[in-house]
Each structure stands twice: as structure tokens, then as C-alpha cells.
Amino acid sequence: MKQLTFNELPQAVIQLYDKLESIERLLLQKSQPEEPDRWFDLSELCAYLPEKATKPTVYGWVHSGIIPVHKRGKKLYFLKSEIDLWLKEGRKKTYAETVAEANNYVKRKGVKYGH
């Protein structure tokens, strides 16, 4: 195993975070039961969600791009598997995860720190 220098440590943390995020995504996908997927309309989705969100709340989420949605004409449809994954991924990030994500963003965008 290669010895890391202090200057290489932020990049190593970013790579480790990216790998863990990929593993978490795969585990979440694998943990879903093998039942047939189904479609919800807006009323069914509101009843299915744990917090029993109201229709105006869901419309707000759709408008903000927060919730996965499919649209046919004027009707909204929600795929159960996508909603389940969205709910599972909704946990609050730790401080370390937020820092690693910010560092990764800065690295990708090529932003230089002002020194």
C-alpha cells in the first residue's frame, strides 16, 4: 500500500467517498425486494409516502425537481421503485460527506483556492 503525503490526503478522501457512494447506491438497489414495479398517480403517491404529503406539497417537489416523476400530457406518474430509492437516499449527509462532496465539486470544476 502506498504511503500518502499530507497534500495527497484530500484527494484520497474524495476518491474514497466516491467509491463508498457507489457501493451505497448498489446496495440500495440490491436491497429492494424482487416484486413487480408499479406506477402511482398523484393520489396513490400521497397515500404511499410515509409522511402522507399533500398534493400541493408533491406539486412543489415536482416543480423543484426534488422527486422523480414521469409526465404524460398533464398527468404525473411516479414509479414505485424510484420513489423507494428516493426515500432511502433522503438521509441527511454527515459533515465529512458534505466536505468531501464540496472538495470533489471544486476539483471537477477546476476552482482554485485563493492563497
Where in the chain are the domains?
9-109
Residue 22: band (very low, low, confident or very high) from pLDDT cuts 50, 70, 90: confident
**Is residue 23 over pLDDT 80?**
yes
Q: Which residues pair with 77 in a beta bridge?
A: 70
Strands in 70-72's sheet, in edge-to-edge order, are 39-40, 75-79, 70-72
Residue 77 near residue 39 (C-beta atoms within 8 A)? yes
- CA dist., res. 103 & res. 13, Å (int): 9
Q: Residue 62: name the closest of 83, 34, 92, 91 by CA.
A: 83
Choose between 61 and 27: higher pLDDT: 61
State pLDDT tens for residues 41-63. Answer: 999 999 999 999 999 999 999 99
What is the rounded average pLDDT for all residues in the chain? 86
Residue 40 near residue 77 (C-beta atoms within 8 A)? yes
